[in-house]
Structures are given as structure tokens and as C-alpha cells.
Structure 1
């Protein structure tokens, strides 16, 4: 509670920590075959409906700034293409950056990206929730960007590296003045 009040952390951040503790305790309890109540189960901080939510980009900003020729300057092409795929689709960047080439299904009546778990040797791609598995239709600038990614051999430089991609795209957005406000991020798409 001190972190939420004094350090201005969001209640949702604290609740996420409670969930992790709940899972750790449950795993330990199950391994030890203990019959203990999980004390972390009822711990939840109320969410304030007036919390700051990430703003969405306006349609005008998307058209005139983010999709302007040379908006991303000398930024590597893959970074900008991933951003453009996010514009019309809305997946988590980590979902898109976890795709393999065969997850881009472009020769289909409805071109799409398959978001799914997979195991590829030592790499095990897990999704955030069981409901995250889905097919995401591609249209407009997102379809064009996906086609280019496919011709490049799929996501490569940032495959399974969402944190690296996020750090770079946020830096580029600041340097190139691509943020509509200070609170806008790639998640604002």
C-alpha cells in the first residue's frame, strides 16, 4: 500500500504482484502437499475508475504524422514495419514480435496473423492468457507492412525481443516528435 500511496504506483501493479505471490504460494503448497489456505487470494487493491488511461492516437495524427513519408527517418525498417502492423490490428507488441514467418497468412481470403503458442527447439512461446490465441485480420497499412515483413523473412532482429523493440520505438517517437502527447506510447495504437 505504501508503494501505491507514496511512490504513486498503480493499484493494478500491486495486484499483479499479488497474483505472482499467489502462484508462488500455490505451487509451494501443492509441491509440499500442504492443506493451507492461500492468504494471497483475497488481496486486491481497488481500481480507481478515474485512473490515468493511456490515450489513443487520433485518426488525424495517425494519417498526418505517423503515416507521413519518412516519419521514422533512419530507424531500421523492421522497427517501423512492426509499428505499422500494430496500427490496424491491436495485438500486444510481444505477440507480434513472437510470430514466426508461417504465422503471417497473407494468401488467404482474409489475410491475417496467427497468434499462438508454439515450441521450436529450446524456444517455447507462451501467450499471456489462454484467450490470447487468435487470428488477427490485416488491412491497409498493416497488410502492406506485413507483406514487407514476409519478404524480409519475417520478424528477425526483434523476434521475441519486445523490450528491445519497445525501448527503440519509444526513443524514436520522442526524437522524431511522433507522440501526440507525452503520455502516448506504441500501446496507444
Structure 2
């Protein structure tokens, strides 16, 4: 067992002839691109002038950063070249009428198939053609893919399906997967994808199990890591034909909350959120967005991305239109129109051009507002967040027995019956919203 108190960030400093020197062994992952073994470089700072290594650490950090940048760039270039050679070999093999196989697989073929491949190399134009020889006889090894390469490769393979994500959606999509890879490497280590075993995956699960028990982490946080890793492994395996095992299957830790938020009591919303000064301390746009959520049931990201074009105050029935507008909708049914009543109408009238400060920044707004609400005692029940207004909105529709078709149209949910016609009109929706509307404050 190692010493858990060990400094996780070594400075790689050693004293030589009275001067601090940077000294670091080349990590195994970069040995192919840097054969020097151990890197040594003087910081030019004398030990007597810096006995506590304050300046020397800064100098060593700069050397280390430059060195790691060089290693990554070199390895990236090598991998790009290797991938290009491998892709070229596969294409050439297909053109010559063969499936590309590695050398070991070719050696296991029936003798007549091996001879057919050798004879193909004797055809005019193929003699002494090294590319053709490698393609037919399996002389080009696939590039090594490390766990640290997993996200980048998965992102490249997912490019087509990511094209309609907004920058913030793209960031959130990427961060969760990067975090899963980083967690796995931190606990199990970086290695070739083909060398990741079921035991490695179970070791990772054991680590998460310990966090769930010792730190009271939500099991669903661990399960998301397992799911992201499984998806990335499966996608890369299919594209690269690596023959990977499904090492992340059946990893789920039971007992998660599945992200369920708790609704507010409608009376609590009326007496606490809609009393004068309840949201003082929030900037104008943040405060207005909260009020907008109360009578619309909008998702926070939908509210943040409203614009002059989608806030329709001049219509016969004032309403907001939920549209993609440069971002991906959560579901096909999310595109909808919601009439404005009560405090939500007041909020839209106060900011008819939308909320540019929070456009595509719902996560930032959520964190800031939830912090204030918690401090004010406005989240009295565990599990309540700003998103709880949406659950409250749905509960209020249920309480007045709004037709399922109307409730689904307002919430942006799928209506589980065959769809006929254009659905509930704005006037029909307005009728039901007026039945559940809170008494608005005199000013907001």
C-alpha cells in the first residue's frame, strides 16, 4: 500500500552541484516518441538562493508543462500517421477484393486463401508495392488507442449527431464523458483499450461503491460514469473493429434517486415566492426568469433561450414559443406554444426581448438561483430545486383535472394516443392555465 499522504503533484526537483535540476522519467505512454529515458534540465536556480524551492518549483512547473505539451503533440502526430496508414491499408485491401486482416489472422487462413492473396501481389503494378503488400498480408498494425484517447475518438465518431447542439449543450455533453474517462484513469490507470478487462471495470465499480458509502454520493452519479464509458467503448469498438469485450455491462449500483426533483406546495409558491421582495438579491433577468417559470412549466433552458421572435405579446393570446433556435430540443414534443398568465405574463412584459445574459447559460443561472433560494429557506424539502416549478406546474394541472392532451401539450410531453388534428389551441390552453393561475404580486 502506498502512503496516502504522498504529494499528488511532485515537483521533479533534485539538487545537483548546488543547483536545482528538473528530473523526470519519460512516462511509459510517451516512451515511443521520446527515447531519452530520463529528462534532466537545470532550472539555473541555486539551492542556497532558494532553499525552500519556491522559485525552483515555478521553473520546474514551466519545464514540465512544456515537456508534456511536446509529448502529447508528438504522440498525437504519430497516432494520426498510424491511423492514416491503417485506413489506407483497409481501403487498398477492399480494392483488391479482400477483407483486411492482421498478419496473425492471415496466417490462420486456409492455404488456398493465403496463396490467392500472394498471387494478387504478383499482378502487374503490384510487384514491390509496399502498400499493397501490407494491405493483403496484414502488415499494417492498427494504431494503439489508449483510454486517454477514448473521448477524443468518440467525439470524432459522433460529429454528425452533435451538429445541432448549442455551445453549452456541447460543453455539457462533453464534460460528463471526459469526467468518466478521467475518473477511470485516476483509479485504474491509462492503458490500451484492448487491454481493459472486466476486472479493471469491477475495480472502478468498487471505488465508486466506496464513495457512495463513505461520502454519501448518489449512486446515479456512479451509474452515469458506467453508462458513458460503456457507450464510448461500444462506439469506438464498432468503428475500429477492435473486438472489445462488454466490460462495463451490468455495473449499475442500485438505490439511485434517478434525478427526481420534489414539487413545491402551490400554497408555498403563492405565500413565499410571490410575496414582495422574495427574490430581492437576484439581478433583473434572473428574477424575471423565475417568475416566468411559475405559470408556464418551462424547462429552465427553454426560458433562458427565449427571444424577441419567440415571446409573442402582440398576439390575441399572449404566449411564448419554444423552438430549437440553435440548440437541440430535449424531445420532439418540446416544440410548443404556452399562453402567458399572471406573474409569467408580467415577467415577459418586463423583458420582451428575452434574457440575453443567460442565453445558453441555464446551468450558471440554476446554480446562482438555487444558492439564493437555499439561503432564504425557499427550498424547504430535500430534493427541491429551481426545476421544481415544472413539477409543481404539472401537479397543478392534474389537480384541476386538465385533459391529458392539454397537459401534454403544455408540458412538452408525448401524448400516448394516436395524434389527430393540430392539438389544443392557444385559447383552450389559456382556459386551463387561468384555472390554476396564482394571484400575481402588484409589482415584480
**Alignment TM-score > 0.5, same fold:** yes
| Counterpart residue number, 1:11 | 219
Are the counterparts in 1 of residues 230 and 246 from structure 2 also a CA contact under 8 Å?
yes
Secondary structure of 2:248's match?
Answer: coil
Q: Which has the higher helix share?
A: 2
Superposition deviation, residue 82 in structure 1? 0.6
Are the counterparts in 1 of residues 291 and 347 from structure 2 also a CA contact under 8 Å?
yes
Uncovered stretches (5+) of structure 2, i.e. residues with no partner: 1-208, 390-444
Are the counterparts in 1 of residues 304 and 354 from structure 2 also a CA contact under 8 Å?
no
Match of 1:87 among 294, 319, 327: 294
Secondary structure of 1:114's match?
Answer: strand
| Counterpart residue number, 2:264 | 57
| Counterpart residue number, 1:31 | 239
Distance, in Å, in 2 between the alignment partners of 1:34 and 1:168 is 45
Once the two structures are superposed, what CA deviation does each residue of 1:144-165 show, in whole Å capped at 9, x if it has no partner? 2123221xx2111111112321
| Counterpart residue number, 1:130 | 331
Superposition deviation, residue 74 in structure 1? 4.1
Superposition deviation, residue 110 in structure 1? 5.2
Query: Do the aligned partners of residues 41 and 92 (structure 1) sit closer, same or farther apart at CA in structure 2, a change above 3 Å counting?
Result: farther
Uncovered stretches (5+) of structure 1, i.e. residues with no partner: 120-124
Are the counterparts in 1 of residues 222 and 253 from structure 2 also a CA contact under 8 Å?
yes
Superposition deviation, residue 131 in structure 1? 4.1
Count of residue correspondences: 180
| Counterpart residue number, 1:158 | 358
Distance, in Å, in 2 between the alignment partners of 1:56 and 1:62 is 10
Superposition deviation, residue 108 in structure 1? 4.3
Query: Do the aligned partners of residues 46 and 139 (structure 1) sit closer, same or farther apart at CA in structure 2, a change above 3 Å counting?
Result: farther
Secondary structure of 2:358's match?
Answer: coil
Secondary structure of 1:40's match?
Answer: coil
Query: Do the aligned partners of residues 176 and 147 (structure 1) sit closer, same or farther apart at CA in structure 2, a change above 3 Å counting?
Result: same
- State which drifts further: 177-186 or 75-84: 177-186
Query: Do the aligned partners of residues 48 and 101 (structure 1) sit closer, same or farther apart at CA in structure 2, a change above 3 Å counting?
Result: same
Secondary structure of 2:379's match?
Answer: coil
Distance, in Å, in 2 between the alignment partners of 1:23 and 1:61 is 42
Superposition deviation, residue 36 in structure 1? 3.9
Once the two structures are superposed, what CA deviation does each residue of 1:107-161 show, in whole Å capped at 9, x if it has no partner? 4455443334343xxxxx234x4346321523322232123221xx211111111
Query: Do the aligned partners of residues 6 and 145 (structure 1) sit closer, same or farther apart at CA in structure 2, a change above 3 Å counting?
Result: same
Once the two structures are superposed, what CA deviation does each residue of 1:45-80 show, in whole Å capped at 9, x if it has no partner? 33467x895432211211111011222124211111
Query: Do the aligned partners of residues 36 and 159 (structure 1) sit closer, same or farther apart at CA in structure 2, a change above 3 Å counting?
Result: same
TM-score by length of 1: 0.75
User: Please, what is the CA RMSD of the aligned residues?
Assistant: 2.9
Structure number, greater radius of gyration: 2
Distance, in Å, in 2 between the alignment partners of 1:40 and 1:111 is 50
Secondary structure of 1:89's match?
Answer: coil
Distance, in Å, in 2 between the alignment partners of 1:81 and 1:174 is 18
Superposition deviation, residue 83 in structure 1? 0.6
Are the counterparts in 2 of residues 112 and 135 from structure 1 also a CA contact under 8 Å?
no
| Counterpart residue number, 1:187 | 387
Are the counterparts in 1 of residues 300 and 362 from structure 2 also a CA contact under 8 Å?
yes
Once the two structures are superposed, what CA deviation does each residue of 1:77-99 show, in whole Å capped at 9, x if it has no partner? 11111111111233332232233
Query: Do the aligned partners of residues 63 and 30 (structure 1) sit closer, same or farther apart at CA in structure 2, a change above 3 Å counting?
Result: same
TM-score by length of 2: 0.36
